[in-house]
Amino acid sequence: MIEVRFHGRGGQGAVTAAEILAKAAFEDGKYCQAFPFFGVERRGAPVMAFTRIDDKPIRRRYQVYNPDYVVVLDDGLLEVVDVFSGIKEGGNVIINTNNGVENSNGVQINKIDATGIALDILGVPIVNTILLGAFAGVTGQVSIESLIKIINETFSGSVAEKNVKAAKMAYDAAKK
């Protein structure tokens, strides 16, 4: 089983990202589970969301404390939340940032300027699908084809189109 923890702020789409990842993994033929943990229900407040992916049905119903992967939608959270908490040895962090990130305890850090890509392609700083593209590229735990399919099912029209383009761009960049 692999476990993923998303850190975002209310309104940034962390919960949607966790669900899209779960659905894409399911599309790949895996079992999945995704769920949020809200602090307080308002825009801007720190939010966590979790995805579990496995080859067999997933039963456990508690939060993810020892993630294989962590995805951070907003580097401002680094000052507020310990996003590295409990991450497994050899674990992997994918973070939306333009700044240097101090690495704690040998975790692999993958930086991506998702906000830049988002402003460029979507015109708004919504980074969730971009980080999912990067996640697929870095980890190989979900196929970009399934990811694109689920992004297309989740959004419609030009929003879907732009999100697919942005996710694909992040995927290609991460693959290199």
- Give the interface with other proteins as residue ranges (CB under 8 A): 15, 19, 22-23, 26, 31-38, 41, 57-63, 65
- Which residue, 61 or 176, is less far from other proteins as judged by CB? 61
- Which residue, 22 or 134, is less far from other proteins as judged by CB? 22
Least gap, CB of 26 to other proteins (angstroms): 5
Least gap, CB of 59 to other proteins (angstroms): 4
Helix, strand, coil distribution of the chain in percent, nearest 5: 40, 20, 40
Single-letter residue type at 131 = L
Single-letter residue type at 164 = V
Task: Give the integer Cα–Cα distance in Å for 172 and 43.
Answer: 31
Least gap, CB of 148 to other proteins (angstroms): 16
Cα dihedral 130→135→141→142 (10° resolution): 0
- Which residue, 59 or 176, is less far from other proteins as judged by CB? 59
